Structure 1
């Protein structure tokens, strides 16, 4: 007997972005875990990323609320970008001519699937800290504190005459544009 996989889907129709441009973003998240796909879409500079992110979040909500699927196990099994109806307009040009403008639309369909397995990319190893390492960390912190105190003392010792000489240095530096 064939075992059915648990899937859920969401669809976005009549998106006013060309399918070719939307496919660039869609292909970047195909087959990825939803958390990874979401992070890709959030930081993607493409205009199609925002509506696809909204669609992905809608599909996740469908999976958790309607299908009662586990959010940690969801993977994008397929995402398809199809061509929607094209709005045809005309742009007037020189000498009485006109050129056509095709305003393309897209239909995007996303299917999420629940898969078994651990999808965490990096497992954080639990390192054991020995007493010698703890003492090293404390000595480093003490040295940093001492250095910061020495710097504070040095800055407080600067006299009025030294402050004036520091201001004079800025006049000697070449600047292409004069600051007024």
Structure 2
């Protein structure tokens, strides 16, 4: 059984649907390749994932003797966090609800 090293970012203000695009991009990649791909990706979630991968790498090196060159992004997923409920004024005295979504992002690295 291989050991997984994880990092979690909770309640970050990005919609889960937008963050999942970046999660799908890095899943299954070696860590060095994933960081290079995130550096050139023009998405708001890219720096978040980059920092999260670096945090998971730091967790791996602090808990065990791990070769960083052999680390792979085993799992990357985004769950829905809290919604901030706001209101937007509309015509004729009405208001519509706006849900500002947040995400929980989880990265798990494994050594291959």
Name the TM-score class by shorter chain. over 0.9
TM-score (structure 1 length as normaliser): 0.61
Q: Distance in 2 between matches of 1:6 and 1:87?
A: 36
Larger RCO, structure (CA 8 Å, separation 6 or more): 2
Shift of 1:68: 2.3
Q: SS in structure 2 opposite 1:85?
A: strand
1:13 pairs with 2:14: no
Shift of 1:67: 2.5
Which protein is richer in strand relative to its size? 2
Alignment of 1:130-141 (within 5 A): none
Q: Distance in 2 between matches of 1:67 and 1:79?
A: 21
Unaligned runs of 5+ in 1: 116-180
Aligned length: 112
Q: SS in structure 1 opposite 2:82?
A: coil
Unaligned runs of 5+ in 2: none
Q: Distance in 2 between matches of 1:52 and 1:14?
A: 14
1:36 pairs with 2:56: no
Q: Distance in 2 between matches of 1:93 and 1:110?
A: 40
- Determine which structure has more spread, i.e. the larger CA radius of gyration: 1
Indicate the residue corresponding to 1:73 in structure 2.
70
Indicate the residue corresponding to 1:135 in structure 2.
none
- After TM superposition, what 4+ stretches of structure 1 lie above 4 angstroms from structure 2? none
Which protein is richer in helix relative to its size? 1
1:64 pairs with 2:65: no
TM-score (structure 2 length as normaliser): 0.97
Shift of 1:6: 2.4
Q: Distance in 2 between matches of 1:6 and 1:56?
A: 16
